[in-house]
Amino acid sequence: MNGYPVGPAGQQWNASGPLWNPAGRPPAAPPAPTPALDPVRTVLDRSLHSLAALGGDLAGHANRIGAILWSPPRVVILGRLKAGKSTLVNALIGAPVAETAALEATNVVAIYTDGAPSRAEVVGLDGARRPLRVDSGMPVDLGCPATEVAYIERWLPSQAIRGLTLIDTPGLATLTTENETATRRALIDGFEQTRTASVNADAAVFLFDSVPRADELEFLRQLDFTPLNTLGVLSRADGFGEGPLGQRDPIAYAAEHSAPMAAELSDTVGTVLPIAGLLAETALTGQLTETDARALASLAGWEPFALIERLDSDSPAPPLDAAVRDRLLDLVGEYGLVHARTVAQGGAHTLNRWLATVSGVERFRHELHTSLARFAAIQRAGRILTELDTLAFQHPARDHIRAIVGAARRDPAMNEVVLFGCLRAMLDVDHDSPVVDELTRVLRARSDTDVVGLPSTAGPDEVRVAAAERLAWVQRQSLSTMSAAADSALTALHGTYAAIGRRTQPTG
């Protein structure tokens, strides 16, 4: 008999307590303590225990849904071919694991999960799994055409993906500017695979190196993420504008450009961050050597145009030969060749630090692991509620299941999950509604003062008054709602502001 849940350490509980090892073997070691749960997970975990306690096949369902609860949120990396997706994945993981060159491998979805031993499997469209040989960290031969592959699953022990699973995808656009038939077919296949991979993702990173095209934005809208769990990346920032030889530093220019771009794309992405993924990859995968730094430093003193001209020639003059030049270009690009020569005089370590800093990857990583991870977890919790709703719809024990999921939704700890679900529904029916802005502000907020739009210095009385004003706004909006989604959203907002009113009520 199954018990719930299959916890993070693989343990199962039945309705009455821990039940180790589903195969019935005695445990090899004493049970690990259950990890501390955040409030949302606690509520969902409790709901799944109640579900399992209903008996019959429901323990199995609890474990199936519990597997979603217990695995890290999944972030899908989206963008057209050559946007720099795999390069960014390598930088984040800190190893050159994602294929960035061979067309075949760029054509399949790859899922990167923390785990040991380091290994890979290829999953066919029929669901069959085969081990995949990985050489120097890179999958080499798929053993079948890419069109027969659903995705590659890659496990490697990496702190960087412990809290988030990364999904690298082939491409977004339905059409390419080149008319080459094979490329087009490959892109369209990649497009389908990208769509499939996005379905079970909890958040997205969207890369573009100039203004995104209409078909890319349309594709993103169909995926059902919200701007809160979609992070925009202005990629290849080292080549932005006029590039490394232009009047302005391209990375600084890209940074300046990011805010207006975010405003323009605000119904798709929450933030836009400029990234030079190539520089980040080089810095974070430990590829730079002292020899590289010396070769780069030897170029100091050249005027930039003369330098590039010399590098473009078939036989660059000593101390550079063509192989060294190509290696440097692969590592730091033209931007690095022009801008990192002086820094390189300080040695490989100094150069490495400089690359990491200018690449923008630190800020990106911070955003990924704070805001994006938070909303990914919230979207995932919503997915679990939806799974429970579906089960209630199909199962003879529907009244009991409905009671369980209803209680979960009413739990105050689930408020953000409910509000987020309302936001998704509103974006579907009426994304220009003021209710969308209200939900977005409330969900971004990290305190009651934030929720009512006051500065953090505001006292409880001010917060209470502001909450009453928001409540009145909700009531006015309710008079003119046009959809069930707006009704639900206003009910949830009403509950949120009323609770703040109660919390800030003077005592005694």
Ligand X SMILES: Nc1nc2c(ncn2[C@@H]2O[C@H](COP(=O)(O)OP(=O)(O)O)[C@@H](O)[C@H]2O)c(=O)[nH]1
Nearer to ligand X, 86 or 158 (CB): 86
CB of 480 to ligand X, least distance (A): 45
Nearest to 303 by CA among 329, 337, 276: 337
Stretch that binds Mg ion, among 81-89, 181-189, 259-267, 413-421 (CB under 5 A): 81-89
User: Does residue 236 interact with ligand X by CB under 6 A?
Assistant: yes
Stretch that binds ligand X, among 22-30, 48-56, 275-283, 452-460 (CB under 6 A): 275-283
- What is the number of other CB atoms lying within 10 angstroms of the CB of residue 490? 21
User: Does residue 239 interact with ligand X by CB under 6 A?
Assistant: yes
Q: For residue 117, say if its preceding peptide bond is cis, omega within 30 degrees of 0.
A: yes
Q: Which helix (H) or strand (E) holds 134?
A: strand 134-135
CB of 442 to ligand X, least distance (A): 35
Q: For 449-459, b where at least 16 C-beta lie within 10 A, e where not — what string?
A: bbbbebeeebe
- The residue within the footprint of ligand X, chosen from 5, 73, 84, 96 (CB under 6 A), is 84
Distance between CA atoms of residues 198 and 428, nearest Å? 17
Nearer to ligand X, 78 or 419 (CB): 78
Residues 6+ apart with CB under 8 A from 167: 74, 75, 76, 77, 109, 110, 111, 112, 197, 198, 201
- The residue within the footprint of ligand X, chosen from 78, 156, 273, 278 (CB under 6 A), is 278
Stretch that binds ligand X, among 189-197, 273-281, 350-358, 411-419 (CB under 6 A): 273-281
CB of 222 to Mg ion, least distance (A): 21
User: Does residue 86 interact with Mg ion by CB under 5 A?
Assistant: yes
Q: Give me the DSSP letters along 143-192.
A: SS-GGGEEEEEEEE--GGGSS-EEEE-S---S--SS--HHHHHHHHHHHH
SS3 102: coil
5, interface contact from ligand X, Mg ion, none, CB < 5-8 Å by kind = none
Stretch that binds ligand X, among 44-52, 272-280, 398-406, 492-500 (CB under 6 A): 272-280
Site for Mg ion in 304-323 (CB under 5 A): none
Distance between CA atoms of residues 396 and 498, nearest Å? 37
Stretch that binds ligand X, among 124-132, 230-238, 316-324, 430-438 (CB under 6 A): 230-238
User: Does residue 106 interact with Mg ion by CB under 5 A?
Assistant: yes
Q: What's the farthest any 2 CA atoms get from each other in the chain?
A: 85
User: Does residue 81 interact with ligand X by CB under 6 A?
Assistant: yes
Nearer to ligand X, 334 or 438 (CB): 334
Q: Identify whether the C-beta of residue 128 lies closer than 8 Å to the C-beta of residue 155.
A: no
User: Does residue 87 interact with ligand X by CB under 6 A?
Assistant: yes
258, interface contact from ligand X, Mg ion, none, CB < 5-8 Å by kind = none
User: Does residue 86 interact with ligand X by CB under 6 A?
Assistant: yes
User: Does residue 106 interact with ligand X by CB under 6 A?
Assistant: yes
CB of 100 to Mg ion, least distance (A): 6
Distance between CA atoms of residues 68 and 388, nearest Å? 12
SS3 140: coil
Residues at the interface with Mg ion (CB under 5 A): 85-86, 106
